[in-house]
Structure 1
Amino acid sequence: METNIISELTTFIEHAPTAFHAIDEIKMLLKKEGFQELKESEIWNLEPGEKYYVTRNNSSIIALKAGKDLENYSFHVTASHSDSPAFKLKENAEIEIAKKYTVLNTEGYGGMICSTWFDRPLSLAGRVMVKNGDRIETKLVKINRDLLMIPSLAIHMDRKVNEGRAINKQVDMLPVMSGSVKEPGEVKSLVAKELGVETTDIYGMDLFLYNRMEAVRWGSDREFIGCPRLDDLQCAFTSLKGFLEAENDKNINVYACFDNEEVGSGTKQGAASTFLYDVLWRANKALGNTEEEYYRAVAGSFMLSCDNAHAVHPNYKQKTDATNCVYMNDGIVVKSHAGQKYTSDAVSVAVFKMICEKAGVPVQFFANRSDEAGGSTLGNIAMAQVSMNTVDIGLPQLAMHSAYETAGVKDTEYMIKAVKTFYGSHITTASDGNYMLED
């Protein structure tokens, strides 16, 4: 079971070099399970017991499983994100160097560890807007060969490199594409050839560098996974698996995967957008329910905000909190923060602990050192649009935002079990504020 799940996870990540590809993979998995596509621009007609999904920008997706008995229903939601830190290609990309090289002009997307992108085989992937008659069509592209490299400067020319230095994205991080001078538009020509279209028919491109290194299992007991984009595709995959495996006639189960978390979520397809609210509101109405029933449902709803967490680094143990620190392969992480960077509170933590006890999976607790600023995630951002009890959880990993990250093998299965149990349970809120977890 464990080996199969890890193989599925790494295949999913390999097929998802960008957020666009991740959502395409999720759509494929949903379609195999009989989910019907909804369009935001069309009228929705939903039926109890049916399964649906809707995308926005081809980089965010929300899927729904409507129960058959929705008299006192609530929404059970998981939220993860599809994007990872990377380098995005600028519109006019080719730069000629000394009439000997062609490098590509890029800019940083998200907060990556720049040094990890040096000296690795890289290529390009993303979406392309192609003119077809009077239509503009979206096509995904993944150049599946070693195309680029960002070479390090030799230590002989930078003797203090191991003492630490600032990395300039405009100077140090431009990938080499060719040992000859290429004309402007060479990248577009490469993409056109890959897609089998004319260069003149390409009207727009969102292209990113991606790491070509394959996933590996490593460690003396093969207990670790090394892989690009574990943050947050590991959570996107595991929450999807739990969602697909669970059945619940008393809820509307909701799977959400948002784009642009790494740059603040403030886009039309990000967690700060109206996407989740729009889908939940329209689903309630399309099922024949009233506005009052919608607000009652939201009041009793619950979200798992799923984004990976920092495991204790064996060489930097002092960087983590003394008592609220976590380890790979020791279970799902519950994240808390007094300043509300995370949404977890006593109520949502208690409910999630009950879920994990029911699932038979271990739980760990994470908090930042009080003298260190931590990152935020999806939950508190999404709650500005749709307010419900939420717990921030994730899977422990090392080297977050590296071009190649590390996580634990066991934790992948733990998350699937916990999410499946969450979706399969009916969480009810009593008038006295108490909670019950029912099958």
Structure 2
Amino acid sequence: MGVTTKTSAAEIAAAEELVSFIQKSPSMFHSVKTIRCYLDEAGFTYLPEAGAWDVRAGGSYYTCRNNSTVIAWKVGERVAEEGSSYHFQLTASHADSPAFKLKNVAEMEGPEAYLRLDTEAYGGMIDYTWFDKPLSLAGRVLVREGSRIESRLVSLDRDVAIIPSLAIHFDRAVNDRFSPNRATDLCPIMSAGDCTVGTVDALVAERLGIEPENIVARDLFLVNRQRGCVWGAASEFVSSPKLDDLACAFTSLKAFLASDNQRDVSVYCCFDNEEVGSNTKQGAMSTVLADTLARVNAALGHTSDELCQAVAKSMLVSCDNAHAVHPNQEGKCDAVNRCRLNGGLVVKEAANQKYCTDAFSRAVLQAVCADAGVPLQTFANRSDMAGGSTLGNLSNTQVSVHAVDVGLPQLAMHSSYETGGARDVTLAIEALTAFYNADLLIDGADAVTLG
């Protein structure tokens, strides 16, 4: 029996656009820059947090915090109408991914003539996937010019380091067990003798066209530059660094831009620091979303009490990828609450409330997607295995709304190179567009009307 290609040209194009999106986003700072380019091209107005905000019905706007979190919103034309059921419909994803971050004193000399990098883990990556891969550096640096210190994005865009494995001849049992020490085994080499301390700043300065002594601080990360691709005999797969969670950042952005809901304030959130707990000034547990909604509400001429009413009638879709059934480890998944690649967006639920999904929010999203003819899948962890957490409940500590946790199914989460389903990119965009377009009239936790 020959190959039957089910992935359409349009679905392949959407997956390839995701790959391009990720390629432009080697750090969380670059992710936000890439998102801002999409928003600028769509005609959105940038409102800096430190400036006054003029927000009007029919307008489209965005703001940023720390250049690593972005929140965008579209105000429906009918929001200003008397008697309108004013509320927010939101999605939230995150811009960061597990990686290794350079320490302030970033270089170590020796042994012999080697020059190595001193790094620490950012988030919970699969360490062994970082070995023997050419690596680059990307992030932001703070540059001083006279009395002014300003932030600059930098991506070396070439490979400058590698973390070498130990030869099997020195560790015959390496295939029996492998538990590298992050302080000793995971130090990348930059040079075998031609470079000295100061090379990192020299490379960054050359890239930025400045003098090395002008660099006063850095947030730099190791980057796997292996380009993502759509692959498979039937073009079923998409693989890339940072699918978790840039796949959700991308698909929710595309849905947000494609949607048209004139009765609500549609909101797109992409937070930083989910992989390290979200409890930063720009994370989901910060005030950034609450501050933004409060300022939008005030700029539209509403009172603080009306904001509370609007929030009570609002809903969030928290978007962070899900674990697909592994082809070689099926037993790691729940017997029936499991998902597969190319089966569509996944609703995630946990009794311990690590996910924000409950019966109410699940019912709303299921009804919206059913009406749109878009498939949904379900995921829950095996009852004897602890799962991770994500954005929904954390953001709800600041802005409490009905919320459901979803994600694209994927394999090898937190590897330096992850795999998902090519068709799931389009299916996720369709599901999230349906959510943004739905006119949700929420009555507490008693009922919701789908307009």
Q: TM-score, normalised by structure 2?
A: 0.96
Partner secondary structure for residue 369 of structure 1:
coil
Work out whether residues 309 and 397 of structure 1, in 8 Å CA contact, stay in contact via their aligned partners in 2.
Answer: yes
Q: How does 1:20-419 map to 2 (within 5 A)?
A: 20-70=29-79, 71-180=84-193, 182-419=195-432
Partner secondary structure for residue 284 of structure 1:
helix
CA separation of 1:432 and 1:191: change in aligned 2, threshold 3 A: closer
Partner secondary structure for residue 163 of structure 1:
coil
Q: CA offsets, 1:20-78, max 9 Å, x none?
A: 00000001110001111111112211111001100000000000101111132110000
Shift of 1:203: 1.2
Q: CA offsets, 1:192-234, max 9 Å, x none?
A: 0110011111111100000011112222211001100000000
Work out whether residues 124 and 208 of structure 1, in 8 Å CA contact, stay in contact via their aligned partners in 2.
Answer: yes
Work out whether residues 94 and 182 of structure 1, in 8 Å CA contact, stay in contact via their aligned partners in 2.
Answer: no
Shift of 1:181: 5.5
Which amino acid in structure 1 is aligned with residue 22 of structure 2? Answer: I
Shift of 1:381: 0.5
Partner secondary structure for residue 449 of structure 2:
strand
Q: How does 1:415-434 map to 2 (within 5 A)?
A: 415-430=428-443, 433-434=446-447
Partner secondary structure for residue 191 of structure 1:
helix
Shift of 1:3: 2.2
Partner secondary structure for residue 406 of structure 1:
strand
Q: CA offsets, 1:344-399, max 9 Å, x none?
A: 01100000001211222211110001111100000010000000000000010000
Query: Whole-Å Cα distance in 1 between the matches of residues 159 and 217 of structure 2?
Result: 23
State percent identity of aligned pairs: 52
Match of 1:2 among 6, 11, 31: 11
Query: Whole-Å Cα distance in 1 between the matches of residues 198 and 110 of structure 2?
Result: 16
CA separation of 1:429 and 1:214: change in aligned 2, threshold 3 A: same
Aligned length: 438
**Structure 2 gaps, min length 5:** 1-9
Query: Whole-Å Cα distance in 2 between the matches of residues 400 and 233 of structure 1?
Result: 12
Query: Whole-Å Cα distance in 1 between the matches of residues 354 and 440 of structure 2?
Result: 25
Partner secondary structure for residue 125 of structure 1:
strand
Partner secondary structure for residue 421 of structure 1:
helix
Query: Whole-Å Cα distance in 1 between the matches of residues 292 and 250 of structure 2?
Result: 21
Which amino acid in structure 2 is aligned with residue 326 of structure 1? Answer: C
Shift of 1:134: 2.0
The CA RMSD measured in Å over matched residues stands at 1.0
Q: TM-score, normalised by structure 1?
A: 0.98
CA separation of 1:232 and 1:209: change in aligned 2, threshold 3 A: same
Q: CA offsets, 1:70-101, max 9 Å, x none?
A: 13211000000000000000111111113321
Partner secondary structure for residue 88 of structure 1:
strand
Work out whether residues 99 and 181 of structure 1, in 8 Å CA contact, stay in contact via their aligned partners in 2.
Answer: no
CA separation of 1:304 and 1:106: change in aligned 2, threshold 3 A: same
Work out whether residues 312 and 444 of structure 2, in 8 Å CA contact, stay in contact via their aligned partners in 1.
Answer: no
Work out whether residues 246 and 420 of structure 1, in 8 Å CA contact, stay in contact via their aligned partners in 2.
Answer: yes
Query: Whole-Å Cα distance in 2 between the matches of residues 15 and 215 of structure 1?
Result: 11
Which amino acid in structure 2 is aligned with residue 48 of structure 1? Answer: A
Work out whether residues 96 and 182 of structure 1, in 8 Å CA contact, stay in contact via their aligned partners in 2.
Answer: no
Partner secondary structure for residue 93 of structure 1:
strand
Shift of 1:432: 7.9
Match of 2:4 in 1: none
Work out whether residues 15 and 423 of structure 2, in 8 Å CA contact, stay in contact via their aligned partners in 1.
Answer: no
Work out whether residues 256 and 266 of structure 2, in 8 Å CA contact, stay in contact via their aligned partners in 1.
Answer: yes
Shift of 1:115: 0.2
Query: Whole-Å Cα distance in 1 between the matches of residues 402 and 443 of structure 2?
Result: 14
